[in-house]
Chains A and B, each alone.
Chain A
Amino acid sequence: MRKSAGTLEARKASPLLVSLSAVFLGIIAGSIFIIFIGKNPFDGFEKILFGALSSRRRIGNTLGMSTQLILIGLSVAFAFKTGLFNIGASGQMLVGGITGSILAYYLPMDMPRVVYLPIIIIAAAAAGGFWGFISGLLKAKFNVHEVVSTIMLNWIAYWMVYDFIPRFIIDPTISVKSKPIPLEHTLRAEWLRNITGFSTLNYGFFIAIAMAVIVWFILKKTTLGFSLKSVGSNRFCAEYAGINVSGSIMVSMAIAGALSGLAGLTYYCGYSEIMEMGKMPNEGFDGIAVALLGNCSPLGVFFSAIFFGILKMGRGSLAATGIPTEIADTIIATVIYFTATNVLLSAFWNERFRQSFEKKEEAASAAMKANGDARSISELSRKEFESLSKAGRHLPKEGR
């Protein structure tokens, strides 16, 4: 017997249900705000969807926006699953982005794309991975908490980029940002631009999907993922079992950093083609929300990133109705709030499921009594239980 027999019990709230509830409550909260300012919430949501999805170009832009959110979400989720909290995604993004941008500027223009693209992808991942690895090293060797080190590394990256832009890739006409990268040296592709009406959608989206699959595979199927998760859940047991705890922490942070580094590449050399001085990318923090809403599963992260992408791209169209664009941010904030308090939501659903299960149980035992069936509820199969509870729904119940 491989799987235990499906025991009869009340359903438990799944992470998906909890996340969908959070989204639902966020939308309700947004609606209430829209009503308060005297507008029609349906108009508002229609406009958001319109802004995000009403044309190929808009869909392309939404996916382009979601690309970095997927990668950052994966980065944070990967770290979470291995017991680490990566809030250094912004810095890792900057490092990955500046690496990609400098290479884009200096690599010869006549280089074939099949050679060029792997080079910048690997370089950006390596740079971000190195940035993450520093935090892992500090934690493994000197017990510096990764929250502290990643935040500090965010600022180191910020000032490094601030120095590197004028030093290497300045746009002489506007001296606070880098020179735009020529199209052939971005992740954008002619065919993608053609089918999506010159949107920001780029090869990064496919990198993100590939990474989601890879992260899923590493965590679920490999010995590497097994080690990393073991260290994340109980490092004392992992140490006892002979797993290299320090090494695992460094590898985890390096992988998380590499994912964020790729996000930086897609953001600065795909979604956009310039880097600005003195700007910390917000996406690094949005990624935490994406990971939370996606329950840290790669598939969940993918969909929650698209959801956030829709809100972020659709918000601009809100202004046309006189609804302030901040409403979209409010919805995002509310969703994050409800995701973070997911204990309340799952308790709510578990209670609902329990009550309905008890009702069914009463009905089933009434039906069995009527049939003269002397078995106890626990001996029934799920199917029998369902049919009996339906049959007994209208029978008189014995008092509990």
Chain B
Amino acid sequence: MEYVIEMIGIRKEFPGIVANDDITLQVREGEIHAILGENGAGKSTLMSILFGLYHADRGTIRIRGREVSIKNPNDAFTLGIGMVHQHFQLVHNFTVSENIILGKEGGFVYDIRKASERIKAISERYGLSIEPDMVIEDITVGMQQRVEILKMLYRDADILIFDEPTAVLTPQEIDELMQIMRNLAAEGKSIILITHKLEEIKAVADRCTIIRRGKLIGVVDVKEATPAEMAAMMVGRPVSFKVEKAPAAIGEPILEIRNLSVMSARHVLGVKDFSLSVHRGEIVGIAGVDGNGQSELIEAITGLRRVESGSILFKGQDIAGISIRKRNELGMGHIPEDRQKRGLILGASLSDNMVIKEFYKEGFSHYGILDYPRIQDYAEEIIEKFDVRSGEGADSLAGKLSGGNQQKAIIGREIESNPDLLIAVQPTRGLDVGAIEFIHSQLVKERDNGKAVLLVSFELDEIFNLSDRIAVINAGRLIDVVDTDDTDVNAVGLMMAGIKATGGDA
């Protein structure tokens, strides 16, 4: 069998961590080859080596049977390797064509019309449906991704690397992308798909290379493997997709939201006359399509957004007007939606991040002077307890951690501060099965310890798996609150669209 790409015995070390330890990857011509691994397993490092962003410490790379040395992305381009990055590299106020020919203008005066014609032709051939004259900022995220794909095809790449391509897409866009990948493979392109989502691999890949903690675990034929088998190989133990939890022991109400209205950033009411209470010992899940007022609701509860009218009672006290710090001190924990923007200071050490809410408290400081040894110990404790993997322990910069480990650090910080109410917004977004399982079990543990948990998620599976009660939000209004045991995905799905199961119009 002829391999298009062979990476043999690749080793790459980073300070304190072996990112790739003797990994071999062989990709056949015209196949869709998935690389499956947890966050931080070394998938991205391996691909960065193939793409010339890193240099392997050891190992050889062969492209179409010829041994090559790839020093930089230009070498990779010359060999016909293109990469669709997780974060798009597009100029927002340029048109599609301008973005695609950027760097390939071919002289001082360039012919945009000729380029556009070629782009249109490629777009039609692979079913990308992209208009060359559209401006990037006017098109959807899914379309922007297709522009990235076009960019590769325009440069005659026949080996395409997709780095977690579905993280930013809606379910419908994911289906479209899968179809595009099949089209590309059918035309003889070889595709490497980096992902940790098993259903995607099942849907589209031919073979799958699984790596764990920098080591090659195995190569499987996707048709012959079950998701559970692949998950077990990825994580190193059997994975339960179902969260085990005992019946809820519901206590007194911790959070009582009464007739709350909140303005959105666009100066219209984002949350309208919303009432909900959360009790000790239960997880209340807020189900809804993204953008239906969840962010505004959570920001109002946590103090990041002003309350327009109504009240928020926290342990019986109206907190609508008090500062964020006071809310924290009253016992509110918050796992924010955007962990890199809100949750962490990426340029600061993990130890600083672990005390960012509490550094001023007696114990971490005395008379305004920080007690660094104490802070360091505290951070090491969290790192240990929540299995946060980082190259240099508490001294690691938060930005150097993988997404899953960043999230574990945040969850560790919030849980260690021992809150009475834990608000978790999209706590597992973009994470792999192992991390999701861990985070879910932590949330359930909090509930079992008699804490109140308020969960916001756009993934119904997660809501159903974790919640004791489900509150459905649509267009800023509470449609209904139902017991998880008394409902099903269909009923909640309808409510998410604004239709109340009992037939009444909300």
Binding site for B on A (CB under 8 A): 1-5, 7, 9, 221-224, 226-227, 229-230, 233-234, 236-244, 378
Known: A7-B15, A223-B365. A242 touches B324 (CB 8 A): yes
Contact B370 A237 (CB under 8 A): no
SS of B interface (majority)? mixed
A7 vs B302: C-alpha distance when bound (angstroms): 41
CA distance A4 to B392 in the complex (A): 5
Option from B347, B359, B380, B393 in Cβ contact (under 8 Å) with A223: B359
**Given A3-B395, A221-B370: A226 in contact with B359 (beta carbons within 8 A):** yes
Chain A residues with CB under 8 A of B344: 234, 237
Is A226 a contact of B16 with CB atoms below 8 Å? Answer: no
Known: A236-B341, A237-B343, A240-B342. A223 touches B13 (CB 8 A): no
Ordered by A's residue number, 19 sampled pairs between the chains whose C-beta atoms are within 8 Å are A2-B376, A3-B395, A7-B391, A9-B15, A223-B360, A223-B369, A226-B370, A230-B352, A233-B347, A234-B341, A234-B344, A234-B346, A236-B342, A240-B324, A242-B303, A242-B323, A242-B324, A242-B326, A378-B13
Which residues of chain B have C-beta atoms less than 8 A from A234's C-beta?
341, 344-347
Residues of B in contact (CB 8 Å), total 40
Q: A residues within 8 A CB of B380? A: 1-2
CA distance A9 to B192 in the complex (A): 31
Residues in A whose Cβ lies below 8 Å from that of B373: 2
Q: Distance (Å) between the CB of A302 and the closest chain B CB?
A: 23
Chain A nearest Cβ from B396, distance in angstroms: 8
B494 CB-CB contact with A under 8 Å: no
Task: Report B-chain residues with C-beta under 8 Å of the C-beta of A1.
Answer: 380, 393
Residue of B nearest to A1 (CB): B393
- The reply to whether B376 and A240 form a contact with Cβ atoms under 8 Å apart is no
Give the residues in chain B near A2, CB-CB below 8 Å: 373, 376, 380
Most buried by A among B324, B328, B376, B391: B324
- Asked whether B342 lies within 8 Å of A223 as measured between CB atoms, the reply is no
Partner of A242, one of B15, B327, B336: B327
Using a CB-CB cutoff of 8 Å, which residues 278-319 of chain B contact chain A? 302-304
- Residue numbers in B under 8 Å from A244 (CB-CB): 323, 325
Does B304 lie within 8 Å of A239, measured CB to CB? Answer: yes
| Contact A378-B342, Cβ < 8 Å, known A1-B393, A237-B356, A239-B324 | no
Which listed residue (A222, A233, A243, A378) contacts B368, Cβ 8 A? A222
Q: How far, in whole Å, are A322 and B323 apart by their CA atoms in the complex?
A: 66
Chain B residues with Cβ under 8 A from A378's Cβ? 13, 18
Asked if B345 and A230 make an inter-chain contact with CB atoms under 8 angstroms apart, the answer reads: yes
Q: Give me 20 other A-B pairs in contact (C-beta within 8 A), A221-B369, A238-B356, A240-B324 excluded.
A: A2-B376, A2-B380, A4-B16, A4-B392, A4-B393, A9-B14, A223-B368, A230-B348, A233-B348, A234-B341, A237-B342, A238-B345, A240-B304, A241-B357, A242-B326, A242-B328, A242-B357, A244-B325, A378-B13, A378-B18
Contact A4 B391 (CB under 8 A): yes
Q: How far is the CA of A237 from the CA of B368 in the complex (A)?
A: 21
- Per the bound structure, the CA–CA distance linking A366 and B199 in Å amounts to 47
In the assembled complex, the CB of B169 is this many whole angstroms from the nearest CB of chain A, namely 25
Chain B nearest CB from A381 CB (Å) reads: 14
B334 within 8 A of A: yes
Neighbouring A residues of B342 by C-beta, 8 Å = 236-237, 239-240
Residue-wise, chain B 160-189 has the 8 Å CB interface mask toward A (1 for contact) of 000000000000000000000000000000
Max chain B CB contacts within 10 Å: which of A221, A230, A234, A243? A234
Closest 6 CB pairs of A and B: A242-B325, A242-B324, A4-B392, A241-B356, A240-B342, A234-B345
* A236 CA / B341 CA spacing, docked (Å): 6
- CB neighbors of A among B470-490 (8 A): none
A127 to B119, CA, bound (A): 62
Which B residues touch A5, using CB under 8 A? 16
Complex CA gap A7/B13 in Å reads 10
Residue contact A223 to B370, C-beta cutoff 8 Å: yes
Please report the C-alpha to C-alpha distance between residue A233 and residue B344 in the assembled complex, in whole angstroms: 10
- CB of A13 to closest CB in B, whole Å: 15
Once the chains are docked, how many angstroms separate the CA of A300 from the CA of B64? 53
Q: Would A230 and B356 be within 8 Å (CB), given that A9-B15, A223-B365, A378-B13 are in contact?
A: yes
A7 CB, nearest partner CB in chain B, Å: 5
Give the distance to chain B from A155, nearest Cβ to Cβ, in Å. 34
